[in-house]
């Protein structure tokens, strides 16, 4: 009698375990059969600030941001807690008359970037987006006008607002490389290729180390199998060269 009840208890226990594992299986099946129109966002985009909203439809990665820097600037109103008087190293610093506005940017970049032999020239205005949601501009102040005098209006983190209150970077965003190292991911250009800081494998790159689009192909921390990528450098053209390496997506605001 005693023996029998022990066996019955064992059977009960086994039954409970089978039940538990069955429940687990059915729960995970439900999760995997959920279908939506969105695709997984690649892990590299987790490097963007959480204030930047990122989604994917499989063909394009959509990046939405307000374009406001996540760091202090002398271009915020003096009454704003994010205001900080210029404390950078440029002795010729001269503030421009513009201020930082809150925008509504939508960048759409190819999920699978590919080279485009046409290498379309980069336009004035946003050509890419940094990991903090701030737009990146090319090396010109206006049509074929070099940045020469504009450089003196870059704030302590190398950004400044234009006449439309769009804050942007033309050169290495110092807040990003200060916090994430000089070899960090800076962001992406509209063609979907990533942009990195100036340091690579212990060497500080200069424009002469890169091609005319200001990049090269190789392994990066985020792409162990290698990818074409741009770099920021301290010498012109700073972020990009004569055009996009790949086919550009779009930006609206
Ligand atoms: Zn500018
Ligand atoms: Zn590189």
205 C-alpha vs ligand 2 centroid, how far in Å? 8
Strands 185-189 and 215-218: unpaired
Q: At 2, is the pLDDT very low, low, confident or very high (cuts 50, 70, 90)?
A: very low
Residue 35 burial by Cβ neighbours in a 10 Å radius (0-12, 13-18, 19+): exposed
Q: Which ligand minimizes its atom distance to the CA of 185? A: 2
Of the listed ligands, the closest to the CA of 140 is 1
Give distance in angstroms: CA of 175 to centre of ligand 2: 20
Phi, psi of 203, deg, nearest 5: -110, 135
Ligand 1 centroid to Cα of residue 169, in Å, is 7
Closest residue by Cα to residue 211 from 230, 224, 188: 230
pLDDT bracket for residue 222 (50, 70, 90): very high
Distances (CA, A) of 124 to 32, 99, 127: 44, 19, 8
What tokens were used for 55? 């989604």
Q: How far is the CA of 198 from the centre of ligand 2 (A)?
A: 8
CA 73–ligand 2 middle distance (angstroms): 29
Q: Tell me how far the alpha carbon of residue 125 lies from the centroid of ligand 1, in angstroms.
A: 8
Residue 78 Cα to ligand 1 middle (Å)? 21
CA 216 – ligand 1 centroid, Å: 25
Distance of alpha carbon 187 from alpha carbon 195, whole angstroms: 5
3-state class (DSSP) for residue 66: coil
Checking if the pLDDT of 69 tops 70, the result is: yes
pLDDT tens for 5-61 read 444 444 444 444 444 444 444 444 444 445 556 899 999 999 999 999 999 999 999
Burial of 176 by CB count in 10 Å (0-12 exposed, 13-18 middle, 19+ buried)?
A: buried
pTM of the model: 0.84
Question: Which residues contact residue 77 at a Cβ distance below 8 angstroms, ignoring those fewer than 6 apart?
Answer: 83, 99
If pLDDT is split at 50, 70 and 90, which confidence band does 244 have?
very high
Find out whether 66 and 105 touch, Cβ atoms under 8 Å.
yes
- Centroid of ligand 2 to alpha carbon of 245 (angstroms): 14
Residue with tokens 């900080």: 84
pLDDT tens across 82-105, in order? 999 999 999 999 999 999 999 999
How many whole angstroms separate alpha carbon 242 and alpha carbon 230?
12
CA distance 55 to 241: 28
In this predicted model, what pLDDT tens digit does every residue of 38-52 receive, in sequence order? 899 999 999 999 999
């Amino acid at each position: 009698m005693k023996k029998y009840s022990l066996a019955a208890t064992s059977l009960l226990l086994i039954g409970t375990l089978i039940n538990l594992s069955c429940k687990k299986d059915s729960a995970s099946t439900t999760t995997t059969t959920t279908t939506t129109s969105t695709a997984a966002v690649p892990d590299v985009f987790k490097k963007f600030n959480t204030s930047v909203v990122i989604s994917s439809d499989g063909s394009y990665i959509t990046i939405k941001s307000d374009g406001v820097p996540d760091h202090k600037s002398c271009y915020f109103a003096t009454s704003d807690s994010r205001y900080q008087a210029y404390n950078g190293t440029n002795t010729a610093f001269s503030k421009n008359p513009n201020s930082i506005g809150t925008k509504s940017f939508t960048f759409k970049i190819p999920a699978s970037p590919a080279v485009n032999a046409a290498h379309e020239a980069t336009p004035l205005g946003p050509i890419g987006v940094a990991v903090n949601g701030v737009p990146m501009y090319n090396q010109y102040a206006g049509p074929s006008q070099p940045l020469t005098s504009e450089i003196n209006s870059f704030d302590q983190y190398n950004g400044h607002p234009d006449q439309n209150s769009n804050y942007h970077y033309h050169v290495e965003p110092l807040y990003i490389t200060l916090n994430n190292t000089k070899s960090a991911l800076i962001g992406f250009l509209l063609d979907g290729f990533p942009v990195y800081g100036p340091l690579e494998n212990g060497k500080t790159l200069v424009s002469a180390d890169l091609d005319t689009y200001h990049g090269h192909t190789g392994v990066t921390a985020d792409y162990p199998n290698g990818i074409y990528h741009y770099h920021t450098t301290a010498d012109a053209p700073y972020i990009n060269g004569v055009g996009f390496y790949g086919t550009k997506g779009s930006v609206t605001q």
